[in-house]
Structure 1
Amino acid sequence: MAGTATANDPRNVLRWFIQYLVQRKLCTLEGLRRVALFQGGLDTRIGQLAAIRGYLDARDIVRILMEQADSDLAFGELCVRHGLMTPAQRDDLLRLQKDQFLLFCACMEWAGTLDPDALGRIRREFLDHLAASTERPRPPSGGFPAVEAQPRSAASVRDVLRKVREVAALPEMVQRTLAVLDGADADLDVAARVIEADPVMATQMLRIGNSALFALRGRVTNVRKAVLMLGARGTRQVVLSTAAAGAFAKVGGDCGRRLWTHSILAGRWAAALARARALSEPEDAAVAGIVHEFGTVVLHQYFQGEMAAVERAQARGTSEREAELEAFGLTHAEVGAFLCQQWTFPARVVESVLHHHALPAKLRALNRLDPLAKVVNAACRLADLDPDRFPHEWIALLGEEFVAYHGLTADLLDQLAPDVRRQAEELTSILG
């Protein structure tokens, strides 16, 4: 009958494998539950699987997104063409996409249920057992077609990225300022002159420079003094925060206001956590927090029909990620990271934007993750919490796995929250 699972169907093999694990007490039910939860939240697009396998890092993923804006080739093909993956690695990922049994085995390793050596031995024993049985389905002998699964065609992903690239340029003054501030040889005097030429930016620089946000010594009376006292990274933070305020305002309505309030809080939480973790350059954390929703902003501005469809799908119970993949072939996090790369933001900021919604299990499974991305991921969740609740209530709402992964405690949140809230309110009053 059409649609009936055959003996060689990997779904049948997977069912037998789970039964095999349980009957021989090779894995606990709790361990299997963790694997199921991990696999249920797993993004099985080839770039995401490649990151977990360790074939790609965030910069590689965004580099290929940049290439996709000008190519009809699938993601995996572009990776091979640019030497980021071998054909064998690409084919390994394509098999994971098609074969639920192989994917489940990989998820057992990634979720930490079994170590790779034990898993390899158990898998070999199971397949030998399966091959010797006349009553159980045999594992597929010829494998499955290596066809890259994509929610939408490479051409449609290209069209989305190309339009984003064309319409979402930073204001010229912001681009010039960032270019001057980029690198170890940042020229603060030139940056000050560029900012002085823009009355709005100059005013905001003075207002923020004289606020308690940076706690500068003495009153700041001119832009040059503000820039010199803030330094390159502090000045970059102010310039981008001001530009972000204008971008969020263009979305308009409750949506724009909600995104802006969330982003300000995320920026302050990210900076506070970065300092608490003694990370270098907490200003980068603040910038990543402020800009992490830029992908959402751009999609709302220039793809209104598609975003309306995303919202309708979410109202029906579809996850945000699934709805965005159906509409765009991309998530707003990927669009945001694409923009940050286009604007030549620091690589750690790009990575933080890319992973800001990732679950702890996914972050833990990644072979390479900048500590800043971990901080920003936590900050984005903290920014959504009800400020009227107590820190111990926040801990309960965040969940045991999230709290353990990020090393959060009620005492830490209680210590950081007052300054975070005060700084966010002050920044909102200045930037609008």
Structure 2
Amino acid sequence: MISHCFVRLIMNHYKDMTISRVLTRRRIDTMGDFPARHALTNSIDDLLEHSDIIVECTGDVFFGTEVIERAFEAGIPVVTINAELQITTGSYLSGKGLLTEAEGDQPGSLAALREDALQMGFQPLVYGNMKGYLNHNPSREDMAYWSNRQGTSIEQTTSFTDGTKVQIEQAVVGNGFGATISRRGLEGVASTDLNTSGNALALIAEGIGQPIVDYVIPSGYSAGGVFLVCRHDEEQAPAIEYFKMGAGPYYVLTRPFHLCSLEVGKTVRRVLAGGGVLLNNSVTPTLGVAAIAKREMKAGDMITRGIGGFDVRGEAIKLVDELDHVPIGLLRNTVLKRAVEPGQLITFDDIEVQPSRVMDIIIQQQQKVAQQFEEDMPTCGLLQQAR
């Protein structure tokens, strides 16, 4: 759906851009309804040869990583609307070329709101997501019903419903902007008033001494947007109160919509104009999203799918706290070596590791985090001794 809508937008409203190629793994003769059928190709080489910039919207960590690596080898920048890829291999890829999340999905919308806030002098304390519904372990039947009703894949519907998607999105935002989490899995505040909930989250951030990422589950007001909770200079407080933002010290800025494919073109224009990265997972991430068992499983059972599956869901974690966690984006047709219980965090000791390029990248990233953690440990000891 993203590719269809984005291509239509560019063809109908962006006279300064041309859809040169559209890479697909499907048979081209089965795609008669695609709006730029003349541009379809099954060849990555053909895509690269005819592109100045690539928009990656596969939703697939493994294939998306392959395409982006090839693009960077050819010196081509990439705009993505794939937070799942960002949290899994994005930090490695961000060190190899220009990779940026697009406006449209919640992470890109938060990044755009942040840019506006900083230009007005606000200092973000909370990067917030508004989530309409949460069920950590939905049934396959319910997901099939809502998938059909909403026109989304059952995998997408499940990752939205069980909370995996929001955990991934917020972890990417945290890594990109140097924010952290208050606890594994985030707070997920049930909210009847965004100002009240935002203030509560801001107090948590102040207590930690670092901005945080989190989300609310609204009741009585619309979900689906993003928000920031910010501070501002005290001398500006009278003016800000006059502007109907309240007495402070915390101010909630909202963006009550995100329009997915309709906004991606703005980020494409940004990159082509030399505007640089809007948001990526950073080359030094501190957050990840671990796989948590949804059900009891025994040795020999197969986790068919991580993100959007019925075996595991994702929870945001601090990397240094869970060095052996299995990133949920890695899991596909993965066999368990030992039994796990519902709610258990999956580690590499629990699974048969399948060789892949994504696995190679994850090992590199985890070794880098572990090395940094080991380097920091003696410093902490010296500080304690000095006190």
- Normalising by the smaller structure, the TM-score range is under 0.3
Larger Rg: 1
Report the TM-score, using the length of structure 1 for normalisation: 0.21
Q: TM-score, normalised by structure 2?
A: 0.23
| Structure (1/2) with the larger helix percentage | 1
